[in-house]
Chain A
Amino acid sequence: DSGVTQTPKHLITATGQRVTLRCSPRSGDLSVYWYQQSLDQGLQFLIQYYNGEERAKGNILERFSAQQFPDLHSELNLSSLELGDSALYFCASSVGQGINQPQHFGDGTRLSIL
Protein backbone atom coordinates (compact mmCIF):
# COMPACT_ATOMS: atom_id res chain seq x y z
CA ASP A 1 0.00 0.00 0.00
CA SER A 2 1.65 3.22 -1.19
CA GLY A 3 -0.59 5.48 0.90
CA VAL A 4 -1.82 7.31 -2.20
CA THR A 5 -5.56 6.95 -2.75
CA GLN A 6 -7.25 7.40 -6.10
CA THR A 7 -10.98 7.38 -6.75
CA PRO A 8 -12.83 6.07 -8.56
CA LYS A 9 -11.01 2.90 -9.60
CA HIS A 10 -13.04 2.55 -12.78
CA LEU A 11 -14.99 5.07 -14.79
CA ILE A 12 -17.04 4.41 -17.91
CA THR A 13 -18.52 7.30 -19.82
CA ALA A 14 -19.32 8.51 -23.31
CA THR A 15 -17.62 10.83 -25.75
CA GLY A 16 -18.20 14.51 -25.11
CA GLN A 17 -18.66 14.04 -21.38
CA ARG A 18 -16.67 15.47 -18.50
CA VAL A 19 -15.19 13.53 -15.55
CA THR A 20 -13.22 14.30 -12.41
CA LEU A 21 -10.54 12.04 -11.01
CA ARG A 22 -9.51 12.46 -7.39
CA CYS A 23 -6.23 11.82 -5.61
CA SER A 24 -5.30 11.94 -1.93
CA PRO A 25 -1.52 12.00 -1.44
CA ARG A 26 0.41 10.22 1.29
CA SER A 27 0.29 11.95 4.64
CA GLY A 28 2.98 14.63 4.72
CA ASP A 29 3.59 14.74 0.96
CA LEU A 30 3.26 18.17 -0.61
CA SER A 31 3.75 17.31 -4.28
CA VAL A 32 1.17 15.61 -6.46
CA TYR A 33 1.82 14.38 -9.98
CA TRP A 34 -0.56 13.08 -12.63
CA TYR A 35 0.40 10.56 -15.31
CA GLN A 36 -1.52 8.98 -18.16
CA GLN A 37 -0.84 5.47 -19.39
CA SER A 38 -2.28 4.30 -22.67
CA LEU A 39 -1.32 1.22 -24.66
CA ASP A 40 0.39 3.11 -27.46
CA GLN A 41 2.00 5.96 -25.49
CA GLY A 42 3.20 4.31 -22.32
CA LEU A 43 3.40 6.33 -19.11
CA GLN A 44 3.27 10.06 -19.82
CA PHE A 45 3.72 12.87 -17.30
CA LEU A 46 0.80 15.32 -17.33
CA ILE A 47 1.22 17.86 -14.55
CA GLN A 48 2.75 18.50 -11.10
CA TYR A 49 1.48 20.52 -8.18
CA TYR A 50 3.41 21.47 -5.09
CA ASN A 51 1.62 22.83 -2.03
CA GLY A 52 -1.26 24.10 -4.12
CA GLU A 53 0.78 25.66 -6.91
CA GLU A 54 1.31 24.30 -10.41
CA ARG A 55 5.01 23.48 -10.84
CA ALA A 56 5.41 21.63 -14.13
CA LYS A 57 3.37 20.73 -17.16
CA GLY A 58 3.94 17.86 -19.52
CA ASN A 59 1.85 16.56 -22.40
CA ILE A 60 -1.45 17.70 -20.97
CA LEU A 61 -4.23 18.57 -23.39
CA GLU A 62 -6.09 21.87 -23.11
CA ARG A 63 -9.27 19.88 -22.44
CA PHE A 64 -7.64 18.62 -19.24
CA SER A 65 -7.10 20.67 -16.11
CA ALA A 66 -6.04 19.97 -12.57
CA GLN A 67 -5.81 21.63 -9.20
CA GLN A 68 -4.49 20.94 -5.74
CA PHE A 69 -6.61 22.04 -2.81
CA PRO A 70 -5.53 23.44 0.59
CA ASP A 71 -5.87 19.99 2.16
CA LEU A 72 -3.42 18.82 -0.56
CA HIS A 73 -5.75 16.48 -2.36
CA SER A 74 -5.84 16.93 -6.11
CA GLU A 75 -8.37 16.59 -8.88
CA LEU A 76 -7.84 16.02 -12.59
CA ASN A 77 -10.70 17.22 -14.76
CA LEU A 78 -11.10 15.80 -18.23
CA SER A 79 -13.67 17.39 -20.55
CA SER A 80 -15.02 16.91 -24.07
CA LEU A 81 -13.86 13.34 -23.79
CA GLU A 82 -12.70 11.48 -26.89
CA LEU A 83 -12.19 7.78 -27.50
CA GLY A 84 -8.45 8.33 -27.35
CA ASP A 85 -8.67 9.51 -23.75
CA SER A 86 -9.33 5.96 -22.64
CA ALA A 87 -6.38 5.14 -20.42
CA LEU A 88 -5.12 4.51 -16.92
CA TYR A 89 -4.58 7.72 -14.97
CA PHE A 90 -2.12 7.57 -12.10
CA CYS A 91 -1.49 10.00 -9.33
CA ALA A 92 1.78 10.06 -7.42
CA SER A 93 3.02 12.05 -4.47
CA SER A 94 6.33 12.98 -2.91
CA VAL A 95 7.49 14.96 0.08
CA GLY A 96 9.16 17.76 -1.85
CA GLN A 97 9.00 19.08 -5.36
CA GLY A 98 12.31 17.93 -6.80
CA ILE A 99 13.37 14.80 -8.56
CA ASN A 100 15.66 13.75 -5.73
CA GLN A 101 12.78 12.18 -3.86
CA PRO A 102 10.94 8.98 -4.75
CA GLN A 103 7.41 9.26 -6.00
CA HIS A 104 4.74 6.99 -4.58
CA PHE A 105 1.96 6.00 -6.95
CA GLY A 106 -1.68 5.17 -6.41
CA ASP A 107 -3.40 2.25 -8.08
CA GLY A 108 -4.88 4.44 -10.78
CA THR A 109 -8.24 5.20 -12.30
CA ARG A 110 -9.15 3.23 -15.42
CA LEU A 111 -11.14 5.48 -17.74
CA SER A 112 -13.10 3.89 -20.56
CA ILE A 113 -14.79 6.06 -23.18
CA LEU A 114 -17.56 4.38 -25.14
Chain B
Amino acid sequence: ETGVTQTPRHLVMGMTNKKSLKCEQHLGHNAMYWYKQSAKKPLELMFVYSLEERVENNSVPSRFSPECPNSSHLFLHLHTLQPEDSALYLCASSQDAQPMGGYTFGSGTRLTVV
Protein backbone atom coordinates (compact mmCIF):
# COMPACT_ATOMS: atom_id res chain seq x y z
CA GLU B 1 0.00 0.00 0.00
CA THR B 2 1.61 3.24 -1.13
CA GLY B 3 -0.76 5.67 0.58
CA VAL B 4 -2.72 6.32 -2.62
CA THR B 5 -5.79 4.12 -2.97
CA GLN B 6 -7.76 3.73 -6.17
CA THR B 7 -11.14 2.08 -6.64
CA PRO B 8 -12.32 0.09 -8.40
CA ARG B 9 -9.27 -1.94 -9.46
CA HIS B 10 -11.06 -3.18 -12.57
CA LEU B 11 -13.99 -1.72 -14.49
CA VAL B 12 -15.81 -2.89 -17.59
CA MET B 13 -18.31 -0.46 -19.03
CA GLY B 14 -20.38 -0.02 -22.14
CA MET B 15 -20.05 3.04 -24.32
CA THR B 16 -23.33 4.48 -23.04
CA ASN B 17 -22.59 3.96 -19.35
CA LYS B 18 -21.60 6.54 -16.76
CA LYS B 19 -19.09 5.54 -14.12
CA SER B 20 -16.61 7.18 -11.79
CA LEU B 21 -13.09 6.34 -10.69
CA LYS B 22 -12.07 7.25 -7.17
CA CYS B 23 -8.69 8.11 -5.72
CA GLU B 24 -7.82 8.82 -2.10
CA GLN B 25 -4.45 9.76 -0.65
CA HIS B 26 -3.47 9.55 3.00
CA LEU B 27 -0.12 11.33 2.69
CA GLY B 28 -1.08 14.94 3.34
CA HIS B 29 -0.07 15.88 -0.20
CA ASN B 30 -1.40 19.02 -1.85
CA ALA B 31 -1.35 17.95 -5.50
CA MET B 32 -3.14 15.10 -7.23
CA TYR B 33 -3.01 13.83 -10.80
CA TRP B 34 -4.75 11.58 -13.28
CA TYR B 35 -2.58 9.69 -15.77
CA LYS B 36 -3.59 7.35 -18.59
CA GLN B 37 -1.34 4.37 -19.35
CA SER B 38 -1.96 2.57 -22.64
CA ALA B 39 -0.02 -0.44 -23.88
CA LYS B 40 3.37 0.44 -25.36
CA LYS B 41 2.81 4.18 -24.83
CA PRO B 42 4.30 6.56 -22.29
CA LEU B 43 2.15 7.69 -19.41
CA GLU B 44 -0.07 10.56 -20.49
CA LEU B 45 -0.83 13.32 -18.02
CA MET B 46 -4.55 14.11 -18.06
CA PHE B 47 -5.27 16.47 -15.16
CA VAL B 48 -3.42 18.18 -12.34
CA TYR B 49 -5.02 19.54 -9.19
CA SER B 50 -3.19 21.66 -6.67
CA LEU B 51 -4.97 22.58 -3.43
CA GLU B 52 -8.25 21.42 -5.01
CA GLU B 53 -7.87 23.74 -7.97
CA ARG B 54 -7.36 22.35 -11.46
CA VAL B 55 -4.06 23.72 -12.72
CA GLU B 56 -3.56 21.63 -15.83
CA ASN B 57 -5.84 19.98 -18.39
CA ASN B 58 -3.94 18.36 -21.21
CA SER B 59 -6.50 18.54 -24.02
CA VAL B 60 -8.51 15.69 -22.59
CA PRO B 61 -11.89 14.95 -24.26
CA SER B 62 -14.91 16.20 -22.33
CA ARG B 63 -16.13 12.63 -21.82
CA PHE B 64 -13.56 12.60 -18.98
CA SER B 65 -14.55 14.95 -16.17
CA PRO B 66 -12.38 15.31 -13.06
CA GLU B 67 -13.54 16.40 -9.64
CA CYS B 68 -11.46 17.24 -6.59
CA PRO B 69 -13.72 17.95 -3.59
CA ASN B 70 -10.78 18.22 -1.17
CA SER B 71 -7.04 17.69 -1.15
CA SER B 72 -7.39 14.01 -0.22
CA HIS B 73 -9.89 12.89 -2.85
CA LEU B 74 -9.93 12.91 -6.62
CA PHE B 75 -12.56 11.52 -8.96
CA LEU B 76 -12.66 10.89 -12.68
CA HIS B 77 -16.19 10.81 -14.04
CA LEU B 78 -16.62 8.86 -17.26
CA HIS B 79 -19.44 9.00 -19.80
CA THR B 80 -19.97 7.89 -23.38
CA LEU B 81 -16.46 6.48 -23.62
CA GLN B 82 -14.92 4.90 -26.71
CA PRO B 83 -13.12 1.53 -26.96
CA GLU B 84 -9.81 3.38 -27.41
CA ASP B 85 -10.26 4.79 -23.91
CA SER B 86 -9.54 1.33 -22.53
CA ALA B 87 -6.35 1.68 -20.47
CA LEU B 88 -4.91 1.72 -16.98
CA TYR B 89 -5.84 4.96 -15.22
CA LEU B 90 -3.35 5.93 -12.57
CA CYS B 91 -3.85 8.44 -9.83
CA ALA B 92 -0.82 10.06 -8.24
CA SER B 93 -0.11 12.60 -5.55
CA SER B 94 2.82 14.77 -4.59
CA GLN B 95 3.68 17.25 -1.88
CA ASP B 96 3.09 20.12 -4.27
CA ALA B 97 2.47 20.60 -7.98
CA GLN B 98 6.19 20.87 -8.73
CA PRO B 99 7.23 17.46 -7.41
CA MET B 100 11.00 17.47 -7.27
CA GLY B 101 10.40 14.69 -4.77
CA GLY B 102 8.47 12.66 -7.30
CA TYR B 103 5.02 11.16 -7.38
CA THR B 104 3.35 8.50 -5.28
CA PHE B 105 1.17 6.45 -7.58
CA GLY B 106 -1.88 4.37 -6.79
CA SER B 107 -2.30 0.87 -8.19
CA GLY B 108 -4.57 2.07 -10.96
CA THR B 109 -7.97 1.19 -12.36
CA ARG B 110 -7.92 -1.14 -15.35
CA LEU B 111 -10.73 0.18 -17.57
CA THR B 112 -12.20 -1.79 -20.44
CA VAL B 113 -14.78 -0.11 -22.69
CA VAL B 114 -16.92 -2.52 -24.66
Co-complex (A, B): no
